[in-house]
Structures are given as C-alpha cells and as structure tokens.
Amino acid sequence: MRNALRNEHGSALILALLVLTGISLFGISLALTTITDRNIAKYDRESMEALHAAEAGIARAKRAIQDRNVTFGDDDGDGLPDFRIADSLAWGGAFEIFGESDVPSSGSAGGYSADIIQITSIGRSKGAYRSVLSEIRHDSFLKYARFVQATGVSYGCGAVLSGEVYSGGSIGLPSGCSSTEKVTFLEMVAAVNGISNLSEGIFHKGYNDSATVVDLQASVDFDMIRKKADGSCSECDCDGFGRIGIYMDDDPLGIGTNGTINLSLFDFQFEDPGSGDTVVTYNGAFVMDATTGNPLLRDDYNGIIFFEGDGFVRGTADGVAGRALTIWATDDIFIEGDIITGYTGFDPVTRLPNGTGFPVNIGLVASDYVYIGAVNRIAQIDAVLMAVNSNWRVWDTSLGAHPAAPIGNYDLDQDGIVGESPVNHDPNVGAGWDEVITAANRNDTWVLNINGPIITYNGGSAYPWNAGSVLSAASGPTRRYNYDLDVTDYPPPCFPVPLNLWVDHAWAEIYDVEN
C-alpha cells in the first residue's frame, strides 16, 4: 500500500514538472514572439522612415536641378556628367544621392542639356536602408500655345487657347465679358505674377498664378547648334538622327549665305542614279556634305539649317519636300511668304504629296526677332516661332506693303472646308468671312493664320492685321492663332528645351534590405 502511494506521489510530481515545463516553454515562446514582433515593427517603422528619407533625397535633387544649383563632374569616369549630394534630415534620417545625365556634356549647358537625368537616392534610418531610382526628362516649350518670358500677356473676350499658356509676368483677362465670351483655356495656364479678372476665364486644366520662372535665354545654345550644323561636334545628331546639318555660311544651297530658302525646292527622297543612295537636293542640285565633299545623304542629315546673321524662309514642306526642320538665325528670321507644312508621304510614280506619312513641323529660332515680311493680306504660317531675346512682329507695318490676296477660293478659318460663301461661320454661325475672294472683297480681306506655338522673350505684334481701318472693314477674325496639336509628338529637330523645367519620366524602388 505504501509503495503504491509513493508511486502516485511520484507520478503527480512528474506531471506537475511537465506542466510547469510546458507553461515555461509557452511563456518563453510568447516572449520571443513578442520580441520578434516588436523588432519587426521597429524595422518596418525604420524601413518606412528610410524610404521617406530616400524620397526626400529625390525631391532635393529635383529641386537642385530645376534651380540649376548642381555642380556636374564625372566621378565614375564614364564620360557622362554626374553629381553627388548627401545630407541628414531633422528627424534623424539621411540620404545619399547619385545623379547622372544620359549624354556627354556639350555646350554651355553641360549636364543640364541631357534629355534624361537618372537619380539614385539611398535613404537611411538607423538599421534600415531603402533605395529609390527616379528618371526625369526635360519638359517642352512646344506644349505652349503662347510663352512669354519677361512680360505679361492679355486676351480679349471670346479668345480660345488650345495649348498651355505661360507668362513670366502676369496674364490679363478682360472684364465684362458675357457668359458666352469668357476667355477659354483648354490646357494649363501659368503666370509668375498673377492672373487678373480670374472670373472672366474658363480653365479646363487649372491654373498657377505664382508659377516658377522658366528661363528661355539660358535654354538656347547657338554655339552648340552651329557645331551640329557644320558637323564639327563629336555628337551632331538631333534626337538620335543624322550627323550634320546645313550651314548656310558655306552656301550649300547655291543661294548665298543669307538667301531666301524656298522649302518647296527641297527633295529629301532623291535617289542618286550614280551611287544609288538617297540624298538631299535643293532646286535640282545636290546639297553637299561639308565633311565628306560628297552629296549629303538623307540619313546623315540632322534637320538643322543655320544662318549666321539674318535668315529668310518661305514655301511648302510636303511630300518629297516634307521633312521636320529647325531653322536657326543668330540675328533675325524673316518669313517671306506662306509657310505651309504637310506630310512626308508621296506617290512613288508621280512623286506628288499624297497626305500619308508623318506630319511635318518647322521650327524657326531667331536670336532677336521673328519678322513677318511683305506677305499677302491672307497669310498662313505653319511653324513654331521662337524669338529668344525679343519677339515676333511684322517688318513693314504699312498697309500698302501687303498685297491683296489673289482671286480664288480659300480656307480662311482652317476648318478643312474651302470656299465657304457667303460666310464661313467664324467665329459664330451666320457670320464671318466670304472665302470666295473676288475683285470686290480682296482688298478688305485680311486674315493671318499662325499655326504653331509662339515662344518669345517679350510681347509681339500682328499690326497691321489689327489696324483700326482693317478691323472696321473686317467680316470676321483677322488674326487666328492655332496651336498645332501634333507638334509635341513630331517636334522640329534639336528644338530647344527649357533647361530648368523637368517632368517625371520613371520611378522605381531598387531594394529594401536591413544593414
């Protein structure tokens, strides 16, 4: 009996020990789990802080690039301009930045002339690191229907702007417009010094009345473009195409160094029977490549025409004569007649334009003025106008300097319908011009159509198209500024970009690890 009791007591003791052991193990496991959860939570918190630090570094680099406060070097020795920034944050985090442009340094703009700058930012918070990669690219002047760097702009009742508008001064809207004549902006509007009479505007994409200053003059490098034109740079392409332009000081077109270029006389699809190559001709003669002494190959041409001093241009760029071009002048550019653009396609048998292919866009970049010369009273200019240090205007403002348009049928409102009569319903149904021009109405018909962005340092003037006598005799609008919607998709080659205006191109997190 006593032995049985001893055995029961021993079993109870063992059972108690087992229970205590289980409870202890459970307690230890719970404690370890709690500690682990706390460590995970701590790391998650630190990891998020590290990500915030990395993103703060990206924001810091973007601001420094936009303000042009970055000093480019070549720390990694790969020939591409780069920079480094490191800093700590008030709450204890820190970041290290490495940024690099995508093209070798060229011209006075250095690394800022890159199409894309890649920024890597490593953020740190205690034991956690996060790394973020961001790519930014230049925004475009071509998105603006109207860009004025130094002065304000104003619009009258009923104006409609289809592209973005930027003013380095203020934007003035009229007062007292009816509900159907408010100034309508279809894209973003930005002004450095405010927008007056805001209630008179309709802003479909919003507005910014305290915008960042965009520097036009610093964004244009004539020296770099001159080298691309004469082929004397190491990288003379435009957007990856070509290796040499047309440098007018060499008289490659046979019209003199400052002769008037007629765009209609180009042939960018001529097959040389001797070599079988597709070459560039002008007025039936080979355009010569100054670097080789041979006819200029179509695929070697980068699309630049460069004048020293004044440049002169007119004509139609369509079919075999259709190619995107940017015409530069170190002084003024004179528009000597209509500039009409079409498409690159043509009939291979007749060699006539057939409306196929890519849209053709022409850029005119003058250091000083873009002048409209002695064009007809009905005039069409399909081009981007850029006056880097001044503005656009008419060279001879006397009414007699502009001949009446030839008798015929026209499309004055650019709606694709030619010869609407007795009115073209512009700007309102039942009103507007008679598009059938006769001896009776030709003298009083003044219509200037500019189809493309206008980018200038200061104002501009369409006078005499807005002269009192012209307006009093007018049946419809005498000035029409039409933003070309395809110009950003098919830009003129090597057209300037705003060096201090960037947009996000790509963003990705590279890794998330504990040190």
The answer to whether residue 40 scores a pLDDT higher than 90 is no
Domain contains 421: no
Pairing of strands 384-387, 153-154: unpaired
Judgement on whether residues 264 and 283 belong to the same structural domain of the protein:
yes
Domain contains 432: no
Judgement on whether residues 350 and 329 belong to the same structural domain of the protein:
yes
* 76 — pLDDT class (breaks 50, 70, 90): confident
221 contacts 235 by C-beta, under 8 angstroms: no
The answer to whether residue 22 scores a pLDDT higher than 60 is yes
Q: What is the per-residue pLDDT for 112?
A: 81
Judgement on whether residues 226 and 174 belong to the same structural domain of the protein:
no
Cis upstream peptide for 464 (omega within 30°): yes
Which of 190, 208, 226 marks a domain boundary? 208
Domain contains 437: no
Judgement on whether residues 366 and 514 belong to the same structural domain of the protein:
no
Domain contains 8: no
Tens digit of pLDDT for each residue in 181-240? Answer: 889 899 999 999 999 999 999 999 999 999 989 999 999 999 999 999 999 998 899 988
Domain contains 391: yes
Q: What is the per-residue pLDDT for 31?
A: 58
Beta bridge partners of 307: 329
Judgement on whether residues 82 and 178 belong to the same structural domain of the protein:
no
Count how many domains the chain has.
3
Q: First vs last Cα of the chain: how many Å apart?
A: 67
Domain contains 39: no
Q: What is the per-residue pLDDT for 108?
A: 54
Q: Of 230, 409, 211, nearest to 304 (Cα)?
A: 230
Cis upstream peptide for 427 (omega within 30°): yes
Q: How far apart are CA 328 and CA 323, in angstroms?
A: 16
Q: How far apart are CA 123 and CA 133, in angstroms?
A: 11
Evaluate the CA torsion angle 502, 245, 248, 104 in order and state its sign: positive
Cα 16 from chain centroid? 81
Judgement on whether residues 116 and 127 belong to the same structural domain of the protein:
yes
498 contacts 215 by C-beta, under 8 angstroms: yes
Q: How far apart are CA 361 and CA 342, in angstroms?
A: 8
Structure tokens at 137: 């690219």
- The predicted model gives 9-32 an average pLDDT of 68
Q: Of 344, 382, 341, 161, nearest to 268 (Cα)?
A: 344
**Residue written as token pair 């106008």:** 385
260 contacts 312 by C-beta, under 8 angstroms: yes
Q: Is 357 exposed, middle or buried (CB count within 10 Å of its CB: 0-12, 13-18, 19+)?
A: middle
432: left (phi over 0), alpha (psi -120 to 50) or beta: left
Cα Rg of the chain (Å, integer):
33
Task: Round the average pLDDT of the chain to a whole number and report it.
Answer: 90
* 425 — pLDDT class (breaks 50, 70, 90): very high
Pairing of strands 479-482, 447-451: parallel
Judgement on whether residues 51 and 183 belong to the same structural domain of the protein:
no
Q: Is 406 exposed, middle or buried (CB count within 10 Å of its CB: 0-12, 13-18, 19+)?
A: exposed
- Find the domain containing 202 and state its range: 141-208
Tens digit of pLDDT for each residue in 456-467? Answer: 999 899 999 999
Q: How far apart are CA 506 and CA 116, in angstroms?
A: 10
Domain contains 415: no
Judgement on whether residues 190 and 147 belong to the same structural domain of the protein:
yes
The residue ranges of DSSP E strands in 290-418, in sequence order, are 301-307, 311-317, 325-329, 333-341, 362-366, 370-372, 378-381, 384-387, 392-394, 408-409
CB atoms within 10 A of CB 37: 10
**Residue written as token pair 């479909």:** 204
The answer to whether residue 1 scores a pLDDT higher than 80 is no
Structure tokens at 479: 């000035």
Residue 110 contacts by C-beta under 8 Å, 6 or more apart in sequence? 72, 81
* 106 — pLDDT class (breaks 50, 70, 90): low
Q: Of 456, 460, 495, nearest to 216 (Cα)?
A: 456
317 contacts 266 by C-beta, under 8 angstroms: yes
Tens digit of pLDDT for each residue in 292-342? Answer: 999 999 999 999 999 999 999 999 999 999 999 999 999 999 999 999 999
Structure tokens at 221: 């490098």
b/e map of 50-79 (b: 16 or more CB within 10 Å)? bbbbbbbbbebbbebbbeeebebeeeeeee
Tens digit of pLDDT for each residue in 393-415? Answer: 999 999 999 999 999 999 999 99
Judgement on whether residues 133 and 145 belong to the same structural domain of the protein:
no
Q: What is the per-residue pLDDT for 405?
A: 95
* 514 — pLDDT class (breaks 50, 70, 90): very low
* 137 — pLDDT class (breaks 50, 70, 90): confident
The secondary structure of 40-81 as a DSSP string is HHHHHHHHHHHHHHHHHHHHHHHHHHHTT----B-TT-SSS-
Q: What is the per-residue pLDDT for 513?
A: 47
Residue 462 contacts by C-beta under 8 Å, 6 or more apart in sequence? 393, 394, 448, 478, 479
Judgement on whether residues 128 and 199 belong to the same structural domain of the protein:
no
The answer to whether residue 13 scores a pLDDT higher than 90 is no
Judgement on whether residues 270 and 148 belong to the same structural domain of the protein:
no
Q: How far apart are CA 376 and CA 101, in angstroms?
A: 47
Which of 208, 242, 259 marks a domain boundary? 208
Judgement on whether residues 165 and 308 belong to the same structural domain of the protein:
no
pTM: 0.85
Domain contains 407: no
Q: Of 496, 302, 248, nearest to 386 (Cα)?
A: 496
